[in-house]
Chains A and B, each alone.
Chain A
Amino acid sequence: MIFFRRWKYLIPTFRRAEERDMQEELDSLAAMSSEGELGNLTRAAERRREAWGWTRLEQLARDVRYAARSLRKSPAFTAAAVVSLGLGIGANTAIFTLIDALMLRWLPVHNPQELVQVTLRAKGVADPRENFNYPLVRAFADQEDVLAGAAGFSGANFSVGRPGALIRTPGAWVSGAFYETLGLKPEAGRLLTRQDDETSSPVVAVLSYNYWQRQFAASPAAVGQSILINGYPVTIAGVSPPGFNGANVGSVADITLPLAAMVPMNINGGVLLGPGNYWLRVLARPRMGVSVAEAKARLNAAWPAISAAAISPGMPRWLQEQIRGARLELTPGGTGWTLLRARFEKPLLVLMTIVALVLLIACANVANLSLARGAARRHEVGIRLAIGAGRWRIARQFLIESALISLCGGLLGVALAVSGSRALLSVLSSGPFKIAFDLTPNLHLLAFTGAVALACAILFGLAPALEATEGEAPAALKEDARMSHSGSRLRSSLVSLQVALSLVLTIGSGLFLRTLQNLRTLDPGFESEGVLLAGINEQRAENRPPQLTALFNDLVDRIEQVPGVLSASVSDNTPMSGGTWSEAAVPKGQPLPDHDSANFIAIGPRYFETMRTPLVSGREFTERDGAASPMVAIVNEAFARRYFPGRDPVGSYITATVSRPPVDLQIVGVAKNMALDGLRSAPPPAVYVSYFQRSQLAPTMLNIRVTGNFADAERAIRAQLQPRLPKIPLDIHGLSEQVEGTLLQERLMAMLASAFGVLALALAAVGLYGVLAYAVARRRNEIGIRFALGARQGQVLGMIVRDAARLVAIGIAIGLPAAWAASRFISSMLFGVTPMDTATVIWATATLALAGLMAGFLPAWRASRVNPMETLRNE
């Protein structure tokens, strides 16, 4: 209460009025009392002022004004400090922005902290299963006494519009309880309900707010309209609220369809709704009053009944047993789900450590600059101490200056981080996934940057503050007051620390660069340069294999007639597409294992010619290896080596589970190993089967080797294909792009680690230069005397360079073991180099030593040009 009455005295007008009023009152009281009866009136006024005034705050404001003035007076120092900190804080904020967007942000839904992700942990399996089949999702949603709702979802791409004008639109398949579980309210129309998720219901879609704005200009009339999705008319039921883009973090779902619509829309014949396909992530919300532990216990109690829905008759017995014996787990799910989290968590944490080290170096730099400045201000401080300022008051003055510098650095950092994190995101998006993050600054971010800036202020401000107030006032007042010994030692150790940290970062960036280089120069077993891939993903059930053979043979023929096309082939998968198909396969006569033992790819004629993968023995598939001919296979070297050691498998038979029951295939060729799943892993045993002998429907890729301009070839190919495939949007891209996409993490690490390494090196060099330049300035007289006594220029030069070399050497001596310890944490991210790769360590140490000597040379040269007469005259 008292505070409210006091607030008004924050306003100068009220303060002045109160002052006048008090003076008037005191005058009137003095007039009516006898002389001296009231004692010291000035003292009384002062004590009364404490009751209503804001003395401490006014003092603080005065200190801030004074600090700002004093910083303005040394613009070079201020600029250097603010820029160092700005770069450091900016780098930290940028990386933290991504970490926040990826891992920490709540989904924009009702009470996200209540949501849990349902996973299934099987005995003896390391990672819990995150994917569930459609019957299970429905079974979870029916556990109404435990769960208020359970939502299954998976991202998808839809083709929207008429044939000839199809637009590929990101979307999601969701279960009927999706919106109900998340607790969202429609922006227009209505959201999907459980009723919509029935195969007999009319097919309806929910649009995202952004899509509704973009495509329908946010018109309310959009609700009820019909749009063509994958060629099927779908009614727009409503629009989800702004900010919500689906539960898959990092990807946008513009159109959401109920899962059951797969049947009327004839998506893969609705086979994905069967019990054999585990592809849906599940978020659930325990019923009000049911704790997570309780919900978990009750769901597990119900599991024996639910798990019937989990098992498909086609599953091998061991898998059925495993699922029956598994336990459900509930983990916090309010931040949504994303594949990116597992992929980028470690790189981002490593980057966070790197930028934290950069910031530490920047802080050391600013501390050093402030120490030097503090030394120059000893005279000022001495005077203030002598006329009665308290030590705390002076230390506070220094801390306030540090806080001001931090504040400016923080603001600069945020500005840099906004553009920096956007640039980072575009690098991340250049990979196989399009990534959409909400990067608008939020409270997390402000709190983070604020805390970082404050920590910096304390980190670099404390040393100069203590240093400045140390020692006796009279000593500080002496004319030749010099830097105390402890201060110069502190400054030197700060520089050595900077050198050590930059060595760690330089070695790290060297390791990441080598990793990228090793992976890029690795022979993947094919030539990705010059190969175009045309994806024909939309498989329609009416295209049965016999027609497909004719269709694809025709397509390949047409493409091969396009000028610039060398060869073309068809396959169901391409190297490093992100997906693989595996089956059990062994030489005929051996028992089939329970688990898949080889990767499979279905390919057409001239596949290896198009990929430029050499055949070690035997032949490629030809047009004759069709449905009516004997089943044939080509195996890779790894398969041959494992199952046919020491002999040529061509002519032998293998048994494989490509259909049920397993069939025998005759090996007609052996191909060189191709990297299929990624460059890092050794190619696993692989079996190629003829595309036209596959019994199941498969996605289709056309592989096309072209010469000359990619864009021209792409246009010509599109012109040939599109009339034959009017209902299918063609996705054409280069194979080398696809391969490069798998190197995203490595590229990101190499790029950022080297950028931050260079920054660290530059900061450390500036720090070293500062310390030496200051030392030279301080020792001018001494150096002058040395010259007067007959020292040669070379000797003085050597003296200062030796100082520099000593600081750098100490830094390297600390940095090497530190790098050794740190590099073990990143060893899993490296490829083809050991964590303490000798060449990298030597290169990094040499770079650092060179930078150090260069930074030391300028002050040394200046020292060697000191004019003895001038300095002696000063003495």
Chain B
Amino acid sequence: MDVLQGTLDMLVLKTLVREPLHGYGVAKAIRASSSEALDIEFGSLYPALKRLELKGWIASKWETSEHNRRAKYYRLTPAGRKRLHEEHSKWTELVAAISGVMGPAQ
């Protein structure tokens, strides 16, 4: 399934709510929580991380992983949390509106 650009930002923010993750971790988490339905292309995810960082919604830091490997971890900033909240409610409204129009599947 393809993911729209704005939606990708929202997914990344959502993924980082629970814990800081590195780039590969974000990709895996999205794939896992969507039951493998969303396979985000790394070529899109990687620039998105920088874009979100420049907007001040996430921050990055080099850390050592559980396998004793160094990796760059991204975590949500307070501004990012606020943004996610806004995106989320917009998303809910949109889904509700579309469901209203579509009704149950025939």
Contacts and interface: CB of A to CB of B under 8 A. Distances in A.
Contact of B46 (A31, A32, A37, A48): A48
B43 A1 contact: no
9 contacts: A5-B54, A5-B56, A25-B23, A28-B69, A33-B24, A43-B43, A47-B47, A48-B46, A48-B50
A552 interface: no
A550 interface: no
B72 interface: yes
A26 B43 CA distance: 11
A1 B55 CA distance: 7
A2 B54 contact: yes
A33 to B, nearest CB: 5
Contacts of A31: 69
Contact of A44 (B47, B56, B69, B70): B47
A43 B44 CA distance: 10
B71 interface: yes
Contact of A52 (B43, B44, B54, B67): B54
Contacts, number: 60
B71 A32 contact: yes
A29 interface: yes
Given A1-B56, A29-B23, A52 B50 contact: yes
A31 B24 CA distance: 10
A472 interface: no
Contacts of B85: none
A37 B45 CA distance: 13
A14 to B, nearest CB: 13
B64 to A, nearest CB: 11
A38 B56 contact: no
B43 A39 contact: yes
A6 interface: yes
Contacts of B67: 32
A858 to B, nearest CB: 62
A38 B55 contact: no
Interface in B39-78: 41-44, 46-47, 49-51, 54-56, 65, 67, 69-72
A29 B54 contact: no
Interface in B1-37: 22-24, 27
From A21, A28, A33, A45, name the one whose CB has the most chain B CB atoms within 10 angstroms.
Answer: A28
A44 B55 contact: no
Contacts of B50: 48, 51-52
B42 A39 contact: yes
B69 A32 contact: yes
Interface of A: 1-2, 5-6, 21, 24-26, 28-29, 31-33, 37-41, 43-45, 47-48, 50-52
Contacts of A2: 54-55
Given A25-B23, A29-B24, A52-B50, A47 B71 contact: no
B interface, size bucket: 20 to 34
Given A2-B55, A6-B54, A39-B41, A48 B23 contact: no
A299 to B, nearest CB: 59
A193 B23 CA distance: 76
B42 A44 contact: yes
Contacts of A37: 42
Given A6-B54, A51-B54, A29 B22 contact: yes
Nearest to B70: A28
Contacts of B24: 29, 32-33, 38
A818 B4 CA distance: 63
B45 to A, nearest CB: 8
Nearest to A3: B54
B2 to A, nearest CB: 15
From A21, A31, A48, name the one whose CB has the most chain B CB atoms within 10 angstroms.
Answer: A48
B25 to A, nearest CB: 9
Nearest to B55: A2
From A2, A51, A52, name the one whose CB has the most chain B CB atoms within 10 angstroms.
Answer: A51
Contacts of A39: 41-43
B43 A47 contact: yes
List the 10 closest pairs (A to B, CB-CB), nearest first: A48-B47, A38-B42, A47-B47, A44-B46, A51-B50, A44-B43, A25-B72, A51-B51, A29-B24, A51-B47
A6 B44 CA distance: 20
A231 B52 CA distance: 81
A26 to B, nearest CB: 8
Contacts of A44: 42-43, 46-47
Contacts of A1: 55-56
A9 to B, nearest CB: 9
A1 to B, nearest CB: 7
A800 B20 CA distance: 80
A29 B41 contact: no
B24 to A, nearest CB: 5
A45 B70 CA distance: 19
Nearest to B72: A25
A257 B44 CA distance: 78
Contacts of A5: 54, 56
A1 B83 CA distance: 15
Contacts of A38: 24, 27, 42
B46 A47 contact: yes
Given A41-B42, A44-B42, 6 more contacts: A21-B72, A32-B67, A43-B43, A50-B47, A51-B50, A51-B54
Contacts of A51: 47, 50-51, 54
Contacts of A52: 50, 54
From B42, B44, B55, B71, name the one whose CB has the most chain A CB atoms within 10 angstroms.
Answer: B42
From B24, B43, B55, B65, name the one whose CB has the most chain A CB atoms within 10 angstroms.
Answer: B43
A732 to B, nearest CB: 78
From A38, A40, A50, name the one whose CB has the most chain B CB atoms within 10 angstroms.
Answer: A38
A119 to B, nearest CB: 60
Contacts of B56: 1, 5
Contacts of B41: 39
Contacts of A28: 22, 69-72
